[in-house]
Amino acid sequence: MSRLQVDKVLNSNVPLEDSTGSSLHDSVTNVLLSMISKESMEEILSQDLCEIEPDFLGFVGNYYLLSMMIPKKFTIVDLGCAYAPQSYLFQQHNKYIGVDNDTVKRFTSANTEHKSCTIKSFLESKEFSVLDLNTTFFICQYVPSWYEHDIKKVLGKLKNVFSFYPCGD
């Protein structure tokens, strides 16, 4: 997909809910499905124990909203990126870095780098130390509460961060 096509898709102002009752999540999933090649989709979804499928690419609604709010000159670091279909939403940004300790195949848009490591080890890495924290935005979404020590470290070190994990406490 060309840069112009990506701009058109991302700037189409995906509705929070359309006249058919489709949710933001459904709308963003449809946008992502139009952006990801069939070959890439088949390669990722055919992995053993794959936790996503065409009608659930992950919790992509918040990623869409963030992609519209974060300045395009920013580097995006997605802590706990999983399969990273959301990387396609950040193609207009400087760079997308997906960090996850799973060794699964991930979706990779043109400006994407993947790091297979824990959040903690990424935050202690050379790659982290060279980031300009003024123009880097960190996303830590749906990272389980048993990573709490890493989440506290993220929130304590970073200037621009979105962290979201719904829980009972």
Quote the CA–CA distance of 33 and 35 in Å, as a whole number: 5
Q: Which residues, 6+ apart, have CB-to-CB distance to 31 below 8 Å?
A: 9, 10, 12, 14, 64, 89
pLDDT beyond 60 at 123? yes
Burial 95-107 (b: 16+ CB within 10 A, else e): ebbbbbeeebbbb
For the segment 94-107, what is each residue's pLDDT rounded down to a tens digit?
Answer: 999 999 988 889 99
For the cut 80, the answer to whether the pLDDT of residue 149 exceeds it is no
Residue 32, class by beta-carbon neighbours within 10 Å (0-12 exposed, 13-18 middle, 19+ buried)? buried
DSSP-based three-state secondary structure for 37: coil
Q: How far apart are the first and last CA of the chain?
A: 42
Report the chain's mean pLDDT, rounded to a whole number.
82
CB distance 79 to 143 below 8 Å: yes
Q: What domains, with CATH codes, occur in the chain?
A: 3-164 (3.40.50)
Residue 81, pLDDT > 80, answer: yes
Checking if the pLDDT of 168 tops 80, the result is no
Question: 55 or 157, which is more confident?
Answer: 55
**Tens digit of each residue's pLDDT (9 = 90 or more) over 8-52:** 555 555 555 444 545 788 889 988 999 999 999 999 999 988 888
